[in-house]
Amino acid sequence: MNSAGANGPTVTLRRRPPTGGESEGAVVGSLVLDRFLIERRIGSGGFGTVYEAWDGRLERPVAVKAIDSGGSGGCDRVLREAQAAARLNHPGIVTLYEMGEEDGSALLVTELVDGETLDRRGRAGDLSDREIGEIGADLCEALDHAHSRSVVHRDIKPQNVLVAENGDGVRAKLMDFGVARLTDGAALTAPGDVVGTLAYMAPEQAEGRADVGPEADVYSLALMLYECWTGENPHRRATPAATARAIGDRVRPLRRARPDLPRELTETVDACLQPRPARRPALEVLGESIEDSLELLADAPSGYGHPHAARLAVAATAVVLGVWLAAGHGVGLP
């Protein structure tokens, strides 16, 4: 089973000074593909290392992802990502500029996004319900573009979403199409192979089905938004094996976890988490539900983006209730 694990790698494409113990990497200072000057290492994950570089020809900063192409798996992933990204041209998707190979590493050159991953922003707890909705709306548009060009991402998760600030709020960009499926081309994975990240995987994807379609992206996006609005991923367990067993289990409805959110929105997200792909609403329905709810969502940091915030809120409520009862207040029974 080929999988990125329960949590998956995190790559952040944001310019920031290196920490004291951070190595700049062996290729810093070198010129790759006779054009891109590697300036510093800015992130790494299970499938490669990302560097900030300077495009000497067009005089612009870029990101260079270096992937060891020694094995066939690495080559397939690079080819898949390049083929998928080459079809796409959308402001909500990180743009691919060039692909090449040098010194045993496959290189993907993309735009450099000055932002942080949704994973980091969520853990900081500074995203409001409305900003989470705006991110969801951006991703619906980006995925609609990808699906219209026969590309299924198959790895929607907070680590693959970049969040950048602009004058009107936040904007989201989807990245890493390394496990994408081209629905109109030859399969790059065999039936039974499981690709993606377990904690965000649709049930049919976890079964290793070869015909995984856009419905899997709808499920993963809804699950990610559920996590952002509640602070908990309902699938994640202590081990990858336990997480895999939890995929497809009944999820506590978002309507119950966050009754303060608009009913239409929570009901749509809950419907997108149906185990059977045919029962899920289309991506367009999810996008419209989010757009219709934006003005009703709170625009102050809610704290729900922080892991375990929902548990803490429940615990605080229990403490208050206990104090109230201890003060001599009773609960009347008929």
Q: What is the CATH number of the domain that holds 149?
A: 1.10.510.10
Q: How far is CA 109 from CA 35, 103, 156, 314, in A?
A: 11, 16, 21, 46
Q: CATH code at 98? A: 3.30.200.20
Q: Of 77, 111, 145, which residue sits at a domain end?
A: 111
Considering the chain, what percentage of its residues have pLDDT values greater than 70?
Answer: 75
**What is the pTM for the complete model shown?**
0.80
Do 104 and 128 share a domain, yes or no? no
**Active-site residue (options: 155, 176, 217, 270):** 155
pLDDT-based confidence at residue 185 (cuts at 50, 70, 90): low
Residue 11 lies in a domain: no
Residue 23 lies in a domain: no
- Cα separation, 213 vs 38, in Å, equals 37
Q: How many domains does the chain have?
A: 2
Do 261 and 216 share a domain, yes or no? yes
Considering the chain, what percentage of its residues have pLDDT values greater than 90?
Answer: 58
Mean pLDDT of 244-269: 95
pLDDT-based confidence at residue 195 (cuts at 50, 70, 90): low
Do 163 and 271 share a domain, yes or no? yes
Do 122 and 226 share a domain, yes or no? yes
Residue 260 lies in a domain: yes
Domain with 37 in it: 31-111
Do 201 and 262 share a domain, yes or no? yes
Residue 22 lies in a domain: no
Q: Of 111, 131, 154, which residue sits at a domain end?
A: 111
Task: Respond yes or no: is residue 119 known to be catalytic.
Answer: no
Do 183 and 301 share a domain, yes or no? yes
Q: Of 69, 88, 111, which residue sits at a domain end?
A: 111
Residue 156 lies in a domain: yes
Residue 42 lies in a domain: yes
Residue 6 lies in a domain: no
Report the pLDDT value the prediction gives residue 302, as an integer from 0 to 100: 64
Residue 328 lies in a domain: no
Do 173 and 204 share a domain, yes or no? yes
> String of b and e for 241-258 (b: at least 16 CB within 10 Å)?
eebbebbbeebebbeebb
Q: Write down the mean pLDDT value for the chain.
A: 81
3-state SS string for the chain: CCCCCCCCCCCCCCCCCCCCCCCCCCCCCCEECCCEEEEEEEEEECCEEEEEEEECCCCEEEEEEEEECCCHHHHHHHHHHHHHHHCCCCCCECCEEEEEEECCEEEEEEECCCCEEHHHHHHHCCCEHHHHHHHHHHHHHHHHHHHHCCEECCCCCHHHEEEEEECCEEEEEECCCCCCEECCCCCCCCCCCCCCCHHHCCHHHHCCCCCCCHHHHHHHHHHHHHHHHHCCCCCCCCCHHHHHHHCCCCCCCHHHHCCCCCHHHHHHHHHHCCCCHHHCCCHHHHHHHHHHHHHHCCCCECCCCCCCHHHHHHHHHHHHHHHHHHCCCCCCCC
Mean pLDDT of 231-246: 92
Do 168 and 222 share a domain, yes or no? yes
pLDDT-based confidence at residue 248 (cuts at 50, 70, 90): confident
Do 102 and 206 share a domain, yes or no? no
Do 266 and 150 share a domain, yes or no? yes
Do 85 and 125 share a domain, yes or no? no
| Per-residue pLDDT tens digits for 274-316 | 999 999 999 999 999 999 999 999 998 765 555 444 444 444 4
Do 142 and 203 share a domain, yes or no? yes
* C-beta pairs of 282-285 under 8 Å, 24+ apart in sequence: 282/218, 283/140, 283/143, 283/144, 283/147, 283/214, 283/217, 283/218, 283/221, 284/140, 284/144
